[in-house]
């Protein structure tokens, strides 16, 4: 089973209403940086869900979910949004290395943990 769930306008409430942290990546199939960097996001998800199952990881295709794209003000790709209890607490714009993503996520989790 993949550590990254595909979300769309039919099932997004799974992360929006999730009590905990959700890390959602907005992407497009035509976006080369999105596609080239996706293995990094998948690796991040695999590492975190192995040790912290209370964190959800997902992806949203902007072409298939234009309402979500507008709702969350996603204008550049890839965009990664970090939610806590349904509220956006951090945005990550563009491509990042695995180390950068881990550092950002660790800092956000530390700052917003109960």
Catalytic residues: 31, 34
Half-sphere exposure of 95 (CA within 13 A, CB side): 10
CA 90 – CA 39 distance, rounded (Å): 21
E strands in the chain: 4-7, 21-27, 55-61, 79-84, 87-93
């Amino acid at each position: 089973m993949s550590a990254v769930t595909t979300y769309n306008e039919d099932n997004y409430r799974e992360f929006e209403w999730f009590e905990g942290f959700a890390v959602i990546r907005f992407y497009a199939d035509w976006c080369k940086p999105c596609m080239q960097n996706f293995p990094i996001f998948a690796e991040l998800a695999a590492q975190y869900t192995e040790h912290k199952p209370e964190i959800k990881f997902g992806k949203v295709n902007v072409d298939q979910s234009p309402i979500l794209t507008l709702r969350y003000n996603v204008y550049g790709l890839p965009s990664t949004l970090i939610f806590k209890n349904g509220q956006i607490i951090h945005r990550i714009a563009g491509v990042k290395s695995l180390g950068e993503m881990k550092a950002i996520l660790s800092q956000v989790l530390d700052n917003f943990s109960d």
